[in-house]
Amino acid sequence: MVQETVEQVEMLKMRLKEAHDRQKSYADKRRRDLEFQVGDLVYLKMRTFQGGSKTRKLKKLKPRYMGPYPILERIGAVAYQLDLSGEL
């Protein structure tokens, strides 16, 4: 009985991994990387700027994004310098 349960658990793990791999390959086929050019307007996610205990109470009411801001230059593969013009 214990051996049967162990075999069933292993079979479930294997099937779960197969399902995960199928979903991953399906998602990877349709995924595309975003690339921006200098001068494009983008929004800045506010999650990195929200902190402290007082902001947690009204989190649902706070804006999630700020902007749009123009891109000044590309710094890395996924990093850009934005013209925030003193708004922060």
Q: pTM here?
A: 0.56
Q: Which residues contact 63 (CB under 8 A, 6 or more apart)?
A: 46
Dump pLDDT digits (tens) for 26-81: 999 988 888 899 999 999 888 755 555 555 666 777 788 888 999 999 998 889 99
How is the chain split into domains, by residue range? 1-32, 41-82
What is the total residue count of the chain?
A: 88
Q: What is the mean pLDDT of residues 15-35?
A: 92
Q: For residue 44, what are the β-bridge partners?
A: 66
Rounded Cα gap, residues 64 and 82, in angstroms: 17
35: left (phi over 0), alpha (psi -120 to 50) or beta: beta
